[in-house]
Every structure is written in structure tokens, then in C-alpha cells.
Amino acid sequence: PDVIIEAQFDDNDAEHGQDHLQDTLTDDIKKLSLDTGERGKAAGVTGVHRTKQDDGPKVNDPRLLPDEFLQRTAKVVYILEKKHSRAATGFIKLLADRNSELFKRCAMFSPVDHRVPRVYVPLADCPPDFVSKPEAYSQMLFICRIVDWKEDSNFASGQLCKSLGQAGEIEPESEGILTEYGVDFSDFSPEVLECLPQNLPWAISPGELARRRDLR
């Protein structure tokens, strides 16, 4: 029978790379294969009898099976519109393996939104004293934008855009949410402000109010 293996791993395992995960999966598959083989031999020794139903013809052609027994599959051929801004709010930390080459080049960005993958960001984008004092930035919010995500990698690649401030404060948290959803919260341009009434205080005239729908 087909077997689905789910591997659970923590942040430290993930930051060591995919080799550890690959070895774990390989070992689990070998154990399952051996267990299945031993069960088959044991069944042969004990003389398990096959029923007539087991000896019946097997349907190898999926086209002969009823639709309710089929799992429909598909393939993404084109992305019409990217709904996510590729920007995320989160925290940065050093990689666990200090002896790896990746440790010298990248830091790990962990998004607050767990639907977004963790991201490798260049150390050049991080604050200058981040490597020597990482604990000083443990509660500092950053904005990271994903630029690539390779098929064979558990983590995306990205760039730190800016530091927002301390987590838990209203302004950094609000700015992070607006940036994630692609909301432009910059100041209005002079051209836009010129469209507003210049003679203040301004009030709607009775005639204008009479032909408008009051939604107050």
C-alpha cells in the first residue's frame, strides 16, 4: 500500500538545511519497507488463506473505474494575478549553524503571518551590529519582501526593506499591516490637495445637500 510520511521538524532542524530532513525521510521509508516485507513473510509462514475475492481480476485501467473512485489532478499553467504583495512583517535572527557558509551570508526572517514562508535575507540588509548583538533586535519588527523561492528550497529568498520599530506598539504594527496588503499610506500630493476646497471653513450648501443621498 502507498504510505504518506509526514516529518515534523523544528526551527533548528530547518535552519541546518534540507539534508537532515532528507535523511529522516529516507530512514523512515526503509523502516516501513522492512516492516512490510517482514509482515508478508510472516503471513506466508502462518499460512494465511486468500479468499476468492482476492483472486478476482484487478482493474489496472483507470478509465474503467467509476468517477467517485478517481482523484482528479491538475497543473498550474499560468498566474493571472498575484494577490499577495510579497511583503511581510516579522523578526530576524541568526542561523543556528554558526559554522556553515550560509551563516556568514544570511539571517533568518520569521514572518508574523505563518502563511508566509520563512525567508533568507542577506546580512548586508541587517543592522550593522546585528551579528554581535542579535538579542537587541529580538523584538524589533522588520518589513521583508520576497524576491525568489526556489523549487528545491524550504525557504524563500528576500530583502529587508525597513525597520518598523518595537513589536506591540500601534504605529509599527499598523504600518506593517498596511504594507503587507499593499495599501498606499503616503502623504497626498499637492495636486490632490488642490482638489479640496480652499476657502475654509467649508460646508455643503443646502442646494447641494438636497440632491445628495444622506448616508450619515
159: in domain = yes
- pTM check: above 0.75: no
Task: Evaluate whether residue 111 is within a structural domain.
Answer: yes
Is 154 domain-assigned?
A: yes
Does residue 12 form part of some domain? no
Asked, for residue 49, whether it belongs to a domain, the answer is: no
Residues 85, 91: Cα–Cα separation, whole Å? 18
Name the residue with higher pLDDT: 58 or 176.
176
User: How many domains does the chain contain in total?
Assistant: 1
pLDDT tens for each residue of 23-35: 666 666 666 555 5
Rounded distance between C-alpha atoms, residue 24 and residue 154, angstroms = 15
Q: Write the CATH number for 109.
A: 2.40.50.700
C-alpha gyration radius of the chain: 29
d(CA 104, CA 107) in angstroms, rounded, equals 9
Say yes or no to pLDDT of 137 above 70.
Answer: yes
In a domain, 70, yes or no: no
In a domain, 147, yes or no: yes
Residue range of the domain that includes 171:
87-181
- The per-residue pLDDT for 16 is 54
